[in-house]
Amino acid sequence: MENSRVKAYIKSIGAYVPSRKVSNDDLAKLVDTSDEWIYSHTGIHNRHIAADNEAASDLAYNASVSALDAAGMSPKELDLILVATMTPDYFGMPSTAALVQDRLGAINAAAMDILAACTGFIYCLETAKAFMESGSARNALVIGTEVLSRVIDWKDRNTCVLFGDGAGAAVLTDNADSPLSNIRHSILRCEGSGAGHLKLTGSGNRTPVDDAKVDHPYVYMDGQKVYKFAVKALCETVEKLLSDNKEHIDDIAYIVPHQANIRIIKAAAKRMKVPFEKFYTNMHEFANTSAASIPIALNEMNKKQLLKRGDMILTIGFGGGLTYGGNLIHW
Ligand code: UT7
């Protein structure tokens, strides 16, 4: 909902992606696959994988420092830190947000994780906006961070080729001294009946790891079911964001979708009759980084000066839960 008095603005964006790059050819040495299969089925060439001593909070910290630097803001000015992750440093507690809060020295901030898988950053933006509209926060740090490489079955070619590690962060404020990007409207949805199609097997108290070949929680995905859901979720969210806000697709500069698979985006573009060029994609370099994929893309677009003040953009997420949703941002 839009509140006419208080607004939530994006003051800056930052990102951090580990330097270790793994190509499709590298993966072909691990499992029976090829660059040709992976690229033609997903649009992915490379993914970046965290160093052995890097955890989700480390990636999040680095992304946060770059966002705070760009905002010219001290961590002490933050009163809220939200972290979207499905690969926290610790499952359950402490939250990854608490670890980031401590390392930043954000001594005035509340800190918590939000779990909405690949839609996590979208959920966090709207949650921070709601805190601002209610008067509970004035400056927030919203982070998407993932070390998916630690929850992959590296012997399963169906999943191991799809994911990468990375983090992106945004500094939000309710105080726009100069023109800033305004989060105008969000749609958050969930189709929990499909929860079993995409899950971290062995990560909680529902399903112990029963596969002797894998001794840690790992991603299970029914690829085709998730693919169909993703195309539908992407189309529905774009169309609802446009109709709720009485906007036309021609007035949208970019759609920034979760970077799961280029075929999902091409199918949605075709179904909606929207030119594919309107969608920003970078999965060829980073693969699917779940909650981090949208802020990493926004940071890259910002650096390339693709985002112009006054542009209207849509960010659209979909993934585990099965969650989906989007934000209309007046950049
Ligand atoms: O972020 C969460 C959201 N995730 C998604 O949105 C992912 C959604 N799903 C997808 O993107 C696609 O379903 C996949 C990329 C995961 C798979 O593509 P697909 O065209 O649906 O392939 P498929 O699962 O139907 O598999 C076709 C064939 C199978 O072989 P058979 O049974 O026909 O002999 C697979 O074993 O391709 C085989 N295959 C591979 N071959 C080479 C699966 N993975 C690979 C691989 N290399 N890496």
Express each pLDDT in 154-199 by its tens digit.
999 999 999 999 999 999 999 877 678 899 999 999 999 999 999 9
Ligand 1, atom 29: nearest CA belongs to which residue?
Answer: 158
Residue 314 alpha carbon to ligand 1 centre in Å? 27
Residues belonging to the active site: 118, 258, 288
Q: Which residues contact 88 (CB under 8 A, 6 or more apart)?
A: 56, 57, 95, 96, 113
In the predicted structure, residue 135 carries a pLDDT above the cut 60: yes
Q: For residue 216, which of 149, 162, 116, 288 has the smallest C-alpha distance? A: 149
What is the distance between the alpha carbons of residues 309 and 280, in angstroms, rounded to a whole number? 17
Count how many residues are written for the chain. Answer: 331
* Class in CATH terms, 182-330: alpha beta
pLDDT given for residue 77 in this prediction: 98
Q: Which tokens hold the place of 96?
A: 């990854």
Mean pLDDT for the stretch of residues 67-94? 97
User: In this structure, are residues 290 and 148 in contact, taking their beta carbons and an 8 Å threshold?
Assistant: yes
The number of the ligand 1 atom at minimal distance from the alpha carbon of 320 is 2
Ligand 1, atom 4: nearest CA belongs to which residue?
Answer: 260
Question: What Å distances lie between residue 219 and 198, 214, 241, CA to CA?
Answer: 7, 11, 30
pTM surpassing 0.85? yes
Q: What are the pLDDT digits (tens) for 211-225?
A: 556 778 899 999 999
What is the distance between the alpha carbons of residues 143 and 124, in angstroms, rounded to a whole number? 8
**From 32-36, 67-71, 208-212, the region with the lowest mean pLDDT:** 208-212
Residue 156 alpha carbon to ligand 1 centre in Å? 11
The number of the ligand 1 atom at minimal distance from the alpha carbon of 226 is 8
Residue 2 alpha carbon to ligand 1 centre in Å? 40
Mean pLDDT for the stretch of residues 54-71? 98
Ligand 1, atom 20: nearest CA belongs to which residue?
Answer: 41
CATH for 3-177 (3.40.47.10, 3.40.718.10, 3.40.50.10860, 1.10.3720.10): 3.40.47.10
Q: How confident is the model at residue 203 (pLDDT cuts 50, 70, 90)?
A: confident
The number of the ligand 1 atom at minimal distance from the alpha carbon of 161 is 48
User: In this structure, are residues 63 and 168 in contact, taking their beta carbons and an 8 Å threshold?
Assistant: yes
Q: Are strands 198-201 and 218-221 parallel, antiparallel or unpaired?
A: antiparallel
Ligand 1, atom 43: nearest CA belongs to which residue?
Answer: 158
Q: How confident is the model at residue 68 (pLDDT cuts 50, 70, 90)?
A: very high
Q: What are the pLDDT digits (tens) for 266-320?
A: 999 999 999 999 999 999 999 999 999 999 999 999 999 999 999 999 999 999 9
CATH 3.40.47.10 domain residues, the chain: 3-177, 182-330
Residue 33 alpha carbon to ligand 1 centre in Å? 11
Q: Are strands 80-84 and 139-147 parallel, antiparallel or unpaired?
A: parallel
What is the distance between the alpha carbons of residues 98 and 77, in angstroms, rounded to a whole number? 16
pLDDT given for residue 3 in this prediction: 47
Residues with CB under 6 A from ligand 1: 33, 37-38, 41-42, 118, 157-158, 161, 223-224, 226-227, 230, 260-261, 264, 288, 290, 319
In the predicted structure, residue 85 carries a pLDDT above the cut 90: yes
Mean pLDDT for the stretch of residues 21-45? 98
Residue 161 alpha carbon to ligand 1 centre in Å? 10
Q: Cis check for the bond before 94: say yes or no (omega within 30 of 0).
A: yes
The number of the ligand 1 atom at minimal distance from the alpha carbon of 224 is 13
